[in-house]
Every structure is written in C-alpha cells, then in structure tokens.
Amino acid sequence: MRTELVFAKLPEIKTELLAVLAADTQTGKGPDAKPQPLLLTSDPAVKAAAEAVLASGEYKAGANETLLLHAPAGLAAKRLLLVGIGKLGKTNIHLVRNAAGTAVRFAKPRGIREVAFVLPEGDTLPVAACTRAAAEGAFVGDFDPDTYKSDRKDQSVQTFTVASPSGADQKTLQAAFAEGVVVGESQNLTRSLVNEPGNKLTPTVLGQRAAAMAKEVGIACEVYSTDKLHELKMGAFWSVSQGSAEPPALIVMRYEPEGVKDGPVLGLVGKGITFDTGGISIKPSDNMEKMKYDMAGGAAMIGAMRAIALLKPKVRVIGIVCAAENMPDGKAQKPGDVQIAMSGKTIEIINTDAEGRLVLADGLAYAKQLGATHLIDAATLTGACVVALGMVNAGAFSNDDSTYEKFATALETSGEKFWRLPLGDEYIEMIRSDIGDIKNTGGRWGGASTAAEFLHTFAEDTPWIHLDIAGVAWNEETKAYMAKGPSGIAMRSIVEWVRKYSS
C-alpha cells in the first residue's frame, strides 16, 4: 500500500474516497435526547456536502459508524465517507486509529482502491499523534488472513493518503506519519507470521523469516538449532522440542545503534511454539487448529525488532525467540519427568501442555547471559489469563514498579489494553516441587500468576515484565477496523517501551 501525507485543500483532493471523522456532541440524557453529529473539519465544502444527511438524524456518529455519500457537491473526491468516533468528550487518538482502519476496510470489498483520510481539527486531539495513528490504522485495516485461498482476489487499498489540517507543522507531521507507517507495517508482519499454518511455518522457517527481516532492515540475526541448545544446556527448551520431527530454532536478533556503548540493554524474549498439540498431555481436538498461533509472542518480538531497527532508538536491544513444536512422539517428554534448565534449576513436568514457560525459562536466562539488563517477554501462555480478563485485556506482570511504569506509559501511545496482575510468594509456594526445584504448573487456581512466578524464577532480580497475550492474540470476530484472525497484540507496546529507554 502506497502512503502519503498531503497538505492540500480538501475540495481539491482527487480520490475515490474521502473519509472525514464525525463525533457526537449530544450532551443531554433521557428519551428526548438526540445525537448531534459534528464533522471534525472546518472546511465549508465538506460541511455543505454532508449537511443534509447530518440534519436528517439517520447518522449518529457512533464509534466506527459509517455513512457513504456519492458524488458530493463541491468536492473533487468521487465519494465522501463519514466515520464516527463516538462522543466528542471521550475521543482519543486510538479512536482515530480505528477510524482509519474502518475507512480502509469499508473501501476494500467495494473495489475502492484510493482512500484519503482527513485528520480531525481542533485542540482536543494532538495532530501529530493522530497522523501517526491514522497511518497505523490504515495498515491494520488493510490486512486479511485469506492467504491460501485459491481464488483469492487482491482487494487491498492501493493508495492511502492522510490529509493534514492547514497550519500544521509539516516537518513534525511527516516524522509522525513515517513512524506510523513503520509501526503499521511491522504489526502486519507480526500478524502474517501468526497467520501461517504449522505445516508452512515450522521453527526452521520462522528462523528464516526472522533472518530475512533482519537483513532487510540491517540488524544482526543468528539462528541456532539442536546443537546450540545442547551446548548451552537449555534442557527446558529442548524438552519441549524433543518429541517433534521438526528441529527447534533459537533466534537471536541484535540492534546496536551507532554511538551507544553503555546504558541499558533490553532483552525481548518471545514464545515461538509454531504448533502446540499439548504433547503427551494432549489438548482436546476442538479448536486445536488455532494452536498455530502459539508463536504470537515470538512473532511480536520479530515485528518489534523490525520497527526498532527502522525507528532507531538510542538503546541496545536483543531479541530472542525460542521456537519449537510441541508434539506427542515416542521421544516426547512425559508428565513426571525432571528437566534441568540453562540456569541449573530443576523443573518437574506436571503437564506437558505447560510448555511455553519452559522455552521462555531458557530464553530469559540466555538474554541475561548475553548482557540484557532489563527483560520483557510475551507469550500466549495461559488459559487462566483468558478466564480472568476475557478477550479484552492481556495480562501483564512485573517484578519492578519503575520498569512497569515505563510500560504503562507506553500503552498511552500504543493503545493496547493490558491489565497488571499480581505476583507473590503465595504463588511461588504453589509451584514448589517435592522432587526438584519447581513444577511447571501450580494447579487450576491462580494459573496466570503461578505461570508468571515460574518465569520470575528465571528472570530473578533483573527488572522484568511478562505479557500473557493468550486471550487477545487472535480475534474471534471481524471488527469494523480489523479482520478476524491474528491481532499482532503487544508489538506496538513493546516498541514504545523500548523507546522509553532511548538516550
């Protein structure tokens, strides 16, 4: 998709579809209250073109509500699309991001290949942030998961233009727009990896895709396999992969900005289980096909490393993805086995379907060995987190309040929904083993927190954040601004967290 930022008068923009935001300014309550939609532009020609329909009361400007006008008088655009962002007093840049995605998804099935998106005017929403959000939303909206349909028709929007209000600082907006393009493209890279079926995206292929990305953006990438796991004594990681005919992949990406020799080193560790049967503790067959998405945490790290390489923050970053298949072969590990992790800690295997924390245990230890001073991991780790938070928020845990505060601030830019959940000694007690150091599950209750405490055992005192994205890595339904399928969750937030450390 070609993208551009223009500073032209709205009536003069020649495009197939001109999308303008509208908000509901109605403040009263009760049965007599009526929505009062307001276009977020001062352009008289645009306002005149929409005046009649706004006065009719049929359009309420609800979030992502659309209304299409053909051949609008006084405009060079062939069509005018109104996109709602809800109540005026509750507007934010994340609604603008979604509105841009809504405009693109509105255009795609109608054969409309050009979209011009008008940024909102006024002091309520910062124009630079809206510029970036609009670019991100356009890419998110353009993605569809129908990769392998034999009759697939390319419905992508070919050109997406963001139209800036008059008087805006062009240099600032160009920089914000460029950032949005990078982040949007990187989120779609994450989503495309998560979307791949397990027979197409094996651990080896995931390593190849990561290496190709790294070469494209100019960062170092090394991909190791079985021999390296044995050399590093990654017994936890290896135990997951030993039952599969597909070899594991240890993917190590490095971003080293020029002139940065000291300061923090951020370690990004992702779970990359390219297919998860559960192993010997095999999962029910219903919905097992979705277990191709069990590498969403690893994909988020690959997407994040791409964005980091292009945005160039002044901080060193190491990205590690631990990729494997979890299969029930005759060589697979069994409940009751004891594995020795890279750190030397011993793990009693209670359930082979609690495998993500095993690969992350060695990934976190390796990140520290490579010099990481701060850690963040992401994984589709527990169903317990989905029970707790539903398919709305992802879970977040941290052993360091100041480190988490940077992440919480990053969410203000990324717009992703995370909810901090507790750690504590009580959860550690639930995973103590009689035969070894710890068990890989603590039973049914508090499963998200016992899993996080398991990882805490390997992060130790290093400032660390754990993101459990199991409930939100896959959209079960199509949204107005995003297709059903992989969401790319966590990538945007991780990138913004990294940028908080930039010197």
What tokens does 218 get?
């100019």
Residue 424 φ then ψ, to 5°: 165, 155
CB proximity list for 186: less than 8 A, separation 6 or greater: 303, 304, 306, 307, 310, 491, 495
Which of 254, 283, 479, 500 is catalytic? The answer is 283
Q: What share of the chain is helix, strand, coil (3-state, %, to 5)?
A: 40, 20, 40
Give every CB contact of residue 76 below 8 A, 6+ residues apart in sequence. 11, 12, 13, 14, 15
Q: How many CB atoms lie within 10 A of CB 194?
A: 27
Q: Residues with Cβ < 8 Å from 178, sequence gap 6 or more?
A: none
- Nearest CA among 406, 434, 280 for reference residue 347: 434
Q: Specify whether 357 is catalytic.
A: yes
Show the beta-strand stretches assigned E in 302-348. 316-326, 338-340, 346-348
Pure H helices in 219-355: 226-231, 235-241, 296-311
Backbone φ and ψ for 260, nearest 5 degrees, come out as: -105, 105
Beta bridge partners of residue 251, listed in sequence order: 223, 321
What distance in Å separates the CA atoms of residue 22 and residue 64, rounded to the nearest whole number?
10
Q: Coil, strand, or helix at residue 6?
A: strand
Give the Cα separation of 195 and 298 in Å (integer): 13
Residue 419 · residue 407 · CB < 8 Å? no
* Residues shown for the chain: 503
500 is catalytic: no
Active-site residue identified among 79, 108, 113, 357: 357
Burial 379-394 (b: 16+ CB within 10 A, else e): bbbbebbbebbeeebb
Strand 249-255: give its sheet, edge to edge.
220-224, 249-255, 316-326, 265-276, 374-379, 464-468, 394-398, 418-420
Residue 36 DSSP symbol? -
Q: Which residues are catalytic?
A: 283, 357
